[in-house]
Structure 1
Amino acid sequence: QLSDRYEFAIVRKLDNCTIGGTSLNQISRLHKTAGGGIWLNRKYQGMGYGTEAFGLRIRFAFEQLGLRKLENGYFAGNQASWKMQQKFGYKQEGIRRQKYICPATGETVDEVLTGLLREEWIDFLPETI
């Protein structure tokens, strides 16, 4: 029985310190799709750790699990997340208006929905290896 969820720690090689995590969830064997996400300690953002982990997660999903599509999202305004997803070929697919409430400000935040098809990812492989 294959899992419908995978959780991966992002561990810095230098000191074996866990600095974040990434996941695949809501895996549909029927449709060959999955959702997922990534989080990274702020102090390690912008250093390439998240991009490397995100790329490995995508490779695992397509090559090991045989999925055909990954679905993701990001908070509207989080351009760093969108930029990272674009590196692998993700496309914007829609917006969930006022999906979340920001705990820090109490303001509502839209979620931008994104998706990546296996064949689109293959087109980006030379740039991401």
Structure 2
Amino acid sequence: MTSRLIFQNESLEIRLPTELEAPLHFEAIQASIDDISAWESWCTADYSLEDSRTYLLDSYVKRQRGIEYRFCLFDRASGKIVGSIALNRIVHEYKTANIGYWIRSDFTGRSLAVTAVKALARFAFDELAMTRLEIVAMEKNHRSRRVAEKVGAIDEGLHRNRLYYQGTPVNAWLYSLIPGDLA
């Protein structure tokens, strides 16, 4: 079993959330709904506390099965959830996975996503023996693309119809990270 905590410094902790933290998770999403919903179809005005609870319970099940690892970023001063990062679309046969993330709107611009991607990549490479991670960002999601570039991911180009957003195929930039890319 891998650690619940993958990163900690004086101001930030990145760890597995529990079902009891559903109100914190829900509050973070509500505080960021406009920003997250611009890129994520699951994030709508109807998102509920029960949705957060279900997400956190599902996170536990998927982690136990080794098919997805979801972590939250916690501000140590306030205890607030300030973001989320996940390792998903894991293909153990090829040792590959996808990284997805969002940062709470009032905590953007602090390099939290960069810190989180680096921590999750180290976890994936060191504890799960992954050899390739991908970050897929919608064509106009400049913030997400900037995070990928700051962590040293390699731009592999714009892929047509690479993602679905609200039921419609959209173009997306593909970035890759391999163990040697992390300084």
Which position in structure 2 is the counterpart of 1:113? Answer: 174
- Given candidates 92, 97, 103, the residue that maps to 1:29 is 92
Give structure 1 stretches of 5+ with no counterpart: none
Which position in structure 1 is the counterpart of 2:129? Answer: 66
Following TM superposition, by how much is the alpha carbon of 1:61 offset from its aligned partner in structure 2, in angstroms?
0.7
Following TM superposition, by how much is the alpha carbon of 1:100 offset from its aligned partner in structure 2, in angstroms?
4.1
Give the residue type in structure 2 aligned to 1:118.
P
Indicate the SS of the match to 2:118. helix
Counterpart Cα distance in 1 of 2:151 and 2:169: 28
Which position in structure 2 is the counterpart of 1:81? Answer: 144
Instruction: Call closer, same or farther: CA 1:100–1:29 in 2, change over 3 Å.
Output: closer
Following TM superposition, by how much is the alpha carbon of 1:2 offset from its aligned partner in structure 2, in angstroms?
5.7
Instruction: Call closer, same or farther: CA 1:68–1:13 in 2, change over 3 Å.
Output: same
1:43 and 2:43 are equivalent in the alignment: no
Aligned-CA RMSD value: 2.1
TM-score of the pair, normalised by structure 1: 0.79
Following TM superposition, by how much is the alpha carbon of 1:48 offset from its aligned partner in structure 2, in angstroms?
2.0
Counterpart Cα distance in 1 of 2:89 and 2:142: 25
What are the Cα deviations for residues 44-88 of structure 1, in whole angstroms up to 9, with x where unaligned?
A: 111122221111111111111111100111121222222221122
Following TM superposition, by how much is the alpha carbon of 1:113 offset from its aligned partner in structure 2, in angstroms?
1.3
Following TM superposition, by how much is the alpha carbon of 1:26 offset from its aligned partner in structure 2, in angstroms?
1.6
* Larger helix percent: 2
What are the Cα deviations for residues 22-44 of structure 1, in whole angstroms up to 9, with x where unaligned?
A: 00012122111111200111111
Identity across matched positions, percent: 27
Higher mean C-alpha displacement, 43-52 vs 3-12: 43-52
Give structure 2 stretches of 5+ with no counterpart: 1-63
Counterpart Cα distance in 1 of 2:80 and 2:95: 33
Counterpart Cα distance in 2 of 1:84 and 1:112: 12
Which position in structure 2 is the counterpart of 1:18? Answer: 81
Instruction: Call closer, same or farther: CA 1:77–1:11 in 2, change over 3 Å.
Output: same
Indicate the SS of the match to 2:84. strand
Give the residue type in structure 2 aligned to 1:63.
D
